[in-house]
Amino acid sequence: MFAGFPFYRNSPYIHSSYHQPQYDQHFINGDRARAKRAQWLPDEEDDYDDYESHQLGPRERAYLTQEEQRWQQELDRRERDDQEARKKAEEEREKRRQNRSHEVTDPESICDSAVNHPGQPRGSPPLPSSNDPRPSSPKQKPFVIPQYDERHVEATMKLQHYFRVHQCQRAIKGISSQFNALRKEFTPPSTISFQKSSSPSDVVTIPAILPSDLSPKDSVDTNSDSDIPKLAYNSTNYNLHAYLESLDKLLVKLDGVESWGDSYVREKRRAVVKQIEGEQNRVDRICKASWLKHVEH
């Protein structure tokens, strides 16, 4: 009734996305090309658009393109050789099968075989003679691995350098994004607790000044730092200590980013360090100015 096919296949009421996928040769060639490029440079999803000077030059790009074409031609040649070998082997098997069936069904060949080979059972195919040429197995050409010289080594080192610099740029950009998110989420405290110099167990909680009320005149001299007590470790100062500790961790991460001798990476890292240290100084000024205002009153 259904000519050997289920009724639910290729139904007009089923969306085309549920049908069996058709594989296009264009996508297969694209996968092969990406696999070959992965031998020289790992896959990267995004590019750092702000740093155009570290892109590959025309000579390196042309060299890599030539190597890809060379690999592709070698793979195509091997594939053609394999197809021709399989085709020849299939033709030889089909020819031998037809010869055997013809010799068994042909009565003249049976009589001739009975006369020429009286000891052989009737109806069996004739014994192969030593003079009959045997089909030789197709020989496959060995795959020759390309030899690498100093140009390959130099190109590989350049690609590794570009990749490492790009990774450092991504790390610095990620740390900068984390800092902006922390600064946006931080809410200045309304009260701040300090430890008394005479008795560290005693805590004094005072109102904190607003960041908008902080002016350049509120900058604390280094000589007055000894008169300002330390921040207390309690629930009042929990968010303040957590914020300062997060900023310190970001500075530690920046110390672990290697520049690999690149001036652009050093400048970007130095700029982010200045931003984080400036935020730490701003929070420190709020705490010290709040204490000095409390002492004056």
Nearest residue to 72 (alpha-carbon basis) of 130, 106, 28 = 28
Residue 48: its pLDDT value, please?
45
pLDDT tens digit string along 166-201? 999 999 999 999 999 999 999 999 999 999 877 767
Cβ-contact 168, 258 below 8 angstroms: yes
- pLDDT over 70 (residue 13): no
pLDDT tens digit string along 132-143? 556 566 667 777
Cβ-contact 240, 231 below 8 angstroms: yes
Nearest residue to 209 (alpha-carbon basis) of 124, 277, 104, 297 = 297
Structural domains of the chain ordered from first start: 25-126 (no CATH), 153-296 (1.20.58.120)
How far, in Å, CA of 30 to CA of 23, rounded? 12
pLDDT tens digit string along 251-271? 999 999 988 888 999 999 999
pLDDT tens digit string along 22-72? 556 767 777 777 777 766 655 555 444 444 444 567 777 788 888 888 888
Task: Report the 10 Å Cβ neighbour count for 256.
Answer: 8
Would you state the structure tokens that stand for residue 199, as one six-digit string? Answer: 């008795």
User: Cα–Cα distances in Å, from 1 out to 5, 6, 7, 12, 186?
Assistant: 9, 10, 9, 18, 73
Residue 2: its pLDDT value, please?
47
Residue 124: its pLDDT value, please?
53
Chain centroid to CA 146: 26
Nearest residue to 63 (alpha-carbon basis) of 152, 158, 159 = 152
The secondary structure element, H or E, covering residue 29 is helix 25-37
End-to-end CA distance of the chain: 100
Would you state the structure tokens that stand for residue 254, as one six-digit string? Answer: 């920046």
How far, in Å, CA of 177 to CA of 234, rounded? 29
User: Cα–Cα distances in Å, from 63 out to 36, 41, 143, 256?
Assistant: 14, 14, 22, 34
Residue spans of beta strands (DSSP E) within the chain: 191-195, 203-207
Would you state the structure tokens that stand for residue 281, as one six-digit string? Answer: 């100084």
Residue 71: its pLDDT value, please?
83
Residue 153: HSE in the Cβ half-sphere, 13 Å Cα cutoff: 4
Tokens 């672990």 found at: 256
